[in-house]
């Protein structure tokens, strides 16, 4: 800010030096006799360098003074640019970090309702777009505003009447540009959503490229992307055309005002002789000099609309309450001792019980028991399991652990008790070791990691990888098979040693050999834990302590395998269908 102010003052002062220069050319006293505060400033700064009777010497000294002032001005312009670059990049970095840190702490429901491409676009593109407002406002706008104020001060010092005439352009511009700015803000908000849609199509295509190729759907996906791309481009062109309207309007109006000033000022010099020719020429140069920063100030609001729209989308994320903000739990529990109990639990994603996906779920799971959840897809099994670590909270009823409502337990404390192994194994582009000891690499020794891998039947294939436990697995672990990925996931769960475990279709997508190895690892994982198993293959849950049969969000049967097979109910029918088809 200081650099911009100094640069603006020096810029205005360098033009004021034309007054003594022109006076010398017109054979008038270089610093005049009565010229107000501007002449007093000139006398106090370069007056000592005016050589009486030596006009060429005075001109030379004025030129040297101009050179010195211009060099100083540009030094401050350079310094402002250096500081501005650091400011805008560091603020962008902080903003991007703040959005990401908040994003990963949002509840699961946010990600269920927001496309991945929209999220990527906001974190990467919108933060870059939002930083332009810092470039425009903190650097260009501040510099232009300081220059306008400094120039106006000198203009008023030369002729306040002509200055008021010159300033009539400002209210006219404000009236003309307001509707334009409103359209730009609305259009840029829409363009941000279109960019997110384009990113979503790209992300979906890349992540599902095998499916695209297997169905020969390249042309179909190409059409989806081109439609999104065309919508984005059309809107961008319309916005650029609107933005480019601001500068010509400003320049035409500014030129008309300058011509009016030239006419009035010429009359004062020629007819009224109330102003010197040097003062008028300098005034006109100031007016023309004023046009550039005024154009910048009028264009900046138009250009800033994209940044403001991007900032709105970013703050839509930042203003969404994080899980920790919504967490009202105050109890910290470090161990699980007795039982998990569902008491008449109902749940609806939108909070409306008429749309419940779970209805009146009640049961107890004691420590060390294996509770199997079976039923058709969409019956509510996974949703029920998601309620235990509070990915979602019950709409009605309660879930207790050792008699304590899970809503009263601190979220981090609750989730430290629960481990999850799902069909869709998530591995990161990192080493095998870091994937097993996920997010707690320094907490475990190499021996502990290896012991977990051995227990999960994963050690043998790991040591055969190119770099063993230091092998980078690639994105989503694509360098190893599905069964190997699943065993690493089980090793991760064994290492963290949670007392409550959720197995979500852990073996459903595996071949027979892989299933055998994974099932053996799971058997070790079950020891001494309370386990909730979601399974379609009934052969894997015959030894469960209790089996809960779900249908349309309700528990329609419960009991052991032998009890349910002999009851001639829903489980018995499922069992018959699977084993008859086998």
pLDDT score of 35: 58
State the DSSP H helix or E strand holding residue 346, giving kind and residue range, or none if neither: strand 339-347
CA 392, distance to chain mean position in Å, is 24
Q: Is the pLDDT confidence value at 339 over 90? A: yes
pLDDT of residue 512: 62
* pLDDT higher than threshold 70 for residue 578: yes
Mean pLDDT throughout 129-133? 78
Q: pLDDT class for 582, splitting at 50, 70, 90?
A: very low
pLDDT tens digits, residue range 251-281?
A: 777 677 777 777 877 777 777 776 777 777 7
Taking only the tens place, the pLDDT of each residue in 168-209 is 766 776 677 777 777 777 787 788 778 777 877 777 777 667
Q: What is the pLDDT of residue 474?
A: 75
More confident of the two residues 263 and 361: 361
Mean pLDDT of 520-547: 82
**What is the β-pairing status of strands 339-347 and 530-534?**
unpaired
% of the chain residues with pLDDT over 70: 87
Q: What is the pLDDT of residue 308?
A: 82
What residues have CB less than 8 Å from 499, skipping those under 6 apart? 335, 336, 367, 417, 529, 530
Of the candidates 345, 327, 339, the residue with the CA atom closest to the CA atom of residue 401: 339
Q: Please list, residue by residue across 196-220, b when 16 or more beta carbons sit within 10 angstroms of its beta carbon and e when fewer do.
A: bbbbbbbbbbeeeeeebeeeeeeee
Coil vs helix vs strand at 447: helix
**Separation between Cα atoms, residue 388 and residue 26, nearest integer Å:** 91
For the chain, the first-to-last Cα distance in angstroms comes to 78
What is the chain's mean pLDDT, rounded?
81
Predicted confidence at residue 238, as pLDDT, reads 83
What is the DSSP code string of 76-104? Answer: HHHHHHHHHHHHHHHHHHHHHHHHHHHHT
CA-derived radius of gyration, the chain: 37
DSSP E strand boundaries for 356-429: 358-366, 370-375, 396-401, 404-405, 418-422
């Amino acid at each position: 800010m200081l650099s911009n102010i100094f640069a603006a003052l020096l810029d205005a002062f360098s033009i004021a030096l034309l007054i003594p220069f022109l006076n010398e050319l017109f054979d008038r006293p270089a610093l005049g006799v009565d010229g107000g505060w501007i002449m007093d400033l000139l006398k106090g700064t370069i007056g000592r360098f005016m050589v009486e009777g030596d006009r060429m010497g005075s001109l030379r000294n004025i030129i040297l003074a101009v050179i010195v002032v211009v060099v100083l001005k540009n030094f401050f312009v350079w310094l402002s640019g250096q500081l501005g670059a650091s400011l805008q990049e560091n603020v962008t970095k902080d903003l991007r970090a703040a959005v990401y840190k908040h994003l990963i702490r949002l509840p699961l429901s946010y990600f269920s309702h927001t496309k991945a491409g929209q999220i990527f676009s906001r974190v990467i593109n919108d933060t870059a777009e939002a930083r332009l407002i810092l470039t425009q406002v903190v650097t260009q706008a501040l510099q232009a505003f300081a220059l306008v104020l400094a120039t106006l001060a000198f203009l008023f010092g030369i002729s306040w009447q002509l200055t008021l005439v010159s300033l009539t352009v400002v209210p006219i511009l404000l009236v003309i540009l307001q509707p334009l700015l409103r359209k730009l803000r609305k259009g840029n908000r829409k363009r941000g959503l279109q960019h997110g849609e384009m990113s979503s199509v790209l992300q979906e295509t890349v992540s599902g490229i095998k499916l695209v190729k297997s169905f020969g759907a390249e042309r179909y996906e190409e059409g989806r992307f081109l439609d999104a791309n065309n919508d984005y481009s059309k809107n961008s062109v319309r916005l650029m055309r609107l933005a480019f309207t601001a500068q010509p309007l400003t320049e035409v109006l500014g030129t008309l005002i300058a011509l009016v000033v030239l006419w009035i000022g010429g009359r004062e010099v020629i007819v009224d002789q109330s102003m010197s020719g040097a003062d008028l020429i300098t005034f006109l140069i100031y007016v023309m000099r004023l046009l550039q920063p005024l154009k910048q100030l009028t264009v900046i609001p138009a250009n800033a609309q994209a940044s403001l729209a991007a900032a709105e989308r970013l703050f839509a994320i930042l203003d969404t309450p994080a899980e920790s903000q919504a967490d009202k739990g105050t109890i910290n529990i470090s161990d699980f001792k007795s039982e998990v109990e569902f008491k008449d639990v109902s749940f609806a994603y939108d909070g409306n019980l008429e749309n419940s996906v779970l209805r009146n779920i009640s049961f107890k799971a004691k420590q060390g028991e294996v509770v199997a959840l079976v039923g058709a897809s969409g019956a509510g099994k996974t949703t029920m399991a998601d309620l235990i670590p509070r990915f979602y909270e019950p709409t009605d009823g309660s879930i207790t652990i050792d008699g304590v409502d899970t809503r009263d337990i601190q979220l981090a404390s609750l989730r430290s008790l629960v481990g999850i192994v799902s069909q869709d194994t998530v591995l990161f582009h990192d080493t095998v070791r870091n994937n097993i000891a996920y997010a707690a690499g320094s907490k475990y020794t190499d021996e502990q990691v290896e012991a977990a891998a051995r227990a999960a039947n994963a050690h043998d294939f790991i040591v055969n990888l190119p770099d063993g436990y230091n092998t980078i697995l690639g994105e989503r672990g694509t360098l190893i098979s599905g069964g190997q990925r699943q065993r690493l996931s089980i090793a991760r769960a064994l290492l963290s040693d949670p007392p409550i475990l959720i197995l979500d279709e852990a073996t459903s997508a595996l071949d027979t050999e892989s299933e055998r190895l994974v099932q053996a690892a799971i058997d070790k994982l079950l020891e001494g834990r309370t386990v909730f198993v979601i399974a379609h293959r009934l052969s894997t849950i015959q030894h469960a302590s209790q089996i809960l049969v779900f249908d349309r969000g309700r528990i329609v049967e419960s009991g052991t395998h032998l009890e349910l097979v002999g009851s001639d109910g829903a489980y018995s029918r499922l069992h018959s269908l699977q084993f008859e088809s086998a």
